[in-house]
Structure 1
Amino acid sequence: MPSARRPHDDPAGDVVRWAAFSCLLVPVVLVVYGTSFGGAAVATLGLAAVTAACRVLLRHSEKAGRSAAAVLVEDRTAAAQRGRHSRAGAGTHRGCHGSGGMSPHD
């Protein structure tokens, strides 16, 4: 059974949803407490603009974070593979102590 995407799996989406809720709630509160409809409308437009900008920045940072993580994994994988391959070298570091001359065992 495929797992359904739960709301708490997307923290940036949670922030955007709360910001959208605030964009609706703040003007209502402002009007209830005596601010003009025009002032509430300006506040709503300002909050909507800030919410949209934050959403764009959050999505951009998520993509950049995933890209950086992918590069890091690739670098680690490549380094591990180089490390494995370099150990299979010529043998100069695998017990050969001489400089090429005759040893007493030869």
Structure 2
Amino acid sequence: MRRARPPHDDPAGDVVRWAAFSCLLVPVVLVVYGTSFGGAAVATLGLAAVTAACRVLLRHSEKAERSATPVPAEDPFPPAPRGRHSRGGAGSHRGCHGSADVSPID
């Protein structure tokens, strides 16, 4: 009795499978369209090397993502320290209640 395969949740594996398929398909197409066997072999080796490097980087990235600890969210604008001479915040101008000599640019 065959079990149904579970749906794939491995996008990196899908990418690697398609790249491996391309490594097999590209040399065939190159030979069909007149490239020498040597040229097709070099193209195959190049594609295989790039595929292997991408696979290693994808797996490393997945491993790092799984092992990353969640960072607690911080307030992007923490409150300003309120020392002896600090301003109280926006709109708290002591003693300035609509002075006529203030320009509208201030």
TM-score tier, shorter chain, comes to 0.5 to 0.7
**CA RMSD for the aligned pairs?**
1.7
Gaps of 5+ in 1: 77-106
State the 1:4 CA deviation: 5.3
TM-score of the aligned structures, taking structure 1 as reference length: 0.61
Q: Which residue of 2 aligns with 1:88?
A: none
State the 1:66 CA deviation: 0.8
Give the paired residue count: 69
Distance (whole Å) between structure 2 residues aligned to residue 60 and residue 4 of structure 1: 26
Distance (whole Å) between structure 1 residues aligned to residue 43 and residue 31 of structure 2: 11
- Provide, for residues 20-54 of structure 1, a one-character-per-residue CA deviation record: whole Å limited to 9, x for no partner: 00000000000000000000000000000000000
Kindly provide the amino acid, as one letter, of the partner of residue 50 in structure 1: V
Kindly provide the amino acid, as one letter, of the partner of residue 22 in structure 1: S
The runs of at least 4 aligned residues of structure 1 exceeding 2 Å deviation read: 3-6
Gaps of 5+ in 2: 73-106
TM-score of the aligned structures, taking structure 2 as reference length: 0.61
Distance (whole Å) between structure 2 residues aligned to residue 29 and residue 4 of structure 1: 32
Q: Which residue of 2 aligns with 1:47?
A: 47
